[in-house]
Amino acid sequence: ATPMSIIAGVGRAAEFGVLVKDADALQRASEVDTIVFDKTGTLTAGKPQVTQIATFSELDESAVLRFAASLEQGASHPLAKAIVDKAGTRALLPASSFRTLGGKGVQGEIEGHRVTLGNQAMMAESGVDTRPAREALDNVASQGETPVLLAVDGMLVALFAIADPLRETSKAALERLHGMGYHLVMLTGDNPVTAGAIAKQAGIDTVIAGVLPDGKAEAITQLQQQGRHVVMVGDGINDAPALAQADVGVAMGGGSDVAIETAGMTLMRHDLQGVADAMSISRATLKNMK
């Protein structure tokens, strides 16, 4: 192996906005056959917005929004930010006994009421009957939006539809990666229906959805046990163990610091074309070494 061609490859990648921290990663990338993408903030823009609110009790839209935003004030999830933004200038209430269930949702007490917010797993955990929302759940998810359910004192009161569309450049970048022969996988904590709709828009081959935060690295290990050589692309704190487990980890610039520290490469532009650039530079570099 000639170190000179590796150095040239690292320089070439930098010209394309790909920061290669671990020069060996460039070499390992040439063996890769599978590219795994986190959904939120990686394939999508990662700026979710509430598009619709459905209510299932006497509490109106303003009241359910106030409960939900009061609870999400204490959360750091992108979905939490969407709900707090939607509440606008409404005066929020203090929440006590606040807790987060990773990959499921949040819970707390507001004005003596037990308030629960999150996905269907979160509602199941709290014994909330979600049947009144079944139709709304299906509609929202099949459009590629994420349904977030709200319960007060164990009763379902609302569903928030939250949209986080694909980044403009994702589809073209994935087409290019397909053309290079890679198998493309989406790995997400979101529900399978929402994930499937976004995957279809993006041109993803395989969806792994409903993964709990500490299950992402395990999913990478399973792909490797099937004999695949894997690039993982992600931006979140949750993604760091999977970035470390992959043959090559790629972080989105502007993502979490942990993701950037863990990854062998970082995309300086918020654009998955950088992954395709890195892969073709890796191939060219290795060809020059033979």
Q: With beta carbons less than 8 A apart as the criterion, state whether 163 and 51 touch.
A: yes
> Is residue 40 within the footprint of Mg ion (CB under 5 A)?
yes
221-225 long-range Cβ contacts below 8 angstroms, 24+ apart: 221/245, 223/34, 223/36, 223/185
User: Which x/- pattern over 130-159 shows residues binding ligand ADP (rule: CB under 6 A)?
Assistant: ----------------x-x-----------
For ligand ADP, the closer of residues 66 and 104 by Cβ is 104
Neighbouring C-alpha atoms within 13 Å toward the C-beta of 209: 20
Six token digits for residue 264 = 């062998």
Stretch that binds Mg ion, among 3-11, 97-105, 229-237, 263-271 (CB under 5 A): 229-237
Cα gap 61→52, rounded to integer Å: 10
CB under 5 to 8 A by kind: which of Mg ion, ligand ADP, none does 235 bind? Mg ion
User: Which x/- pattern over 180-219 shows residues binding Mg ion (rule: CB under 5 A)?
Assistant: ----------------------------------------
Helix (H, G, I), strand (E, B) or coil at 225: helix
> Is residue 249 within the footprint of Mg ion (CB under 5 A)?
no
Active site residue 205: no
CB under 5 to 8 A by kind: which of Mg ion, ligand ADP, none does 282 bind? none
Among 236, 241, 249, 274, binds Mg ion (CB under 5 A): 236
> Is residue 186 within the footprint of ligand ADP (CB under 6 A)?
no
Residue 230 to residues 52, 61, 156, 173, 200, Cα–Cα distance (Å): 37, 45, 41, 17, 21
Task: Supply the minimum distance, in Å, between the C-beta of residue 78 and Mg ion.
Answer: 8
User: Which x/- pattern over 7-46 shows residues binding ligand ADP (rule: CB under 6 A)?
Assistant: --------------------------------xx------
Angle, CA of 161, 163 and 166, to the nearest 5°:
155
Task: Supply the minimum distance, in Å, between the C-beta of residue 116 and ligand ADP.
Answer: 10
Cα gap 227→260, rounded to integer Å: 26
Distance between alpha carbon 278 and the CA centroid of its chain, in Å?
A: 21
Six token digits for residue 28 = 């390992």
Interface residue list for ligand ADP (CB under 6 A): 39-40, 72, 75, 77, 79-80, 103-106, 117-119, 146, 148, 188-190, 213, 236, 238
Interface residue list for Mg ion (CB under 5 A): 38, 40-41, 235-236
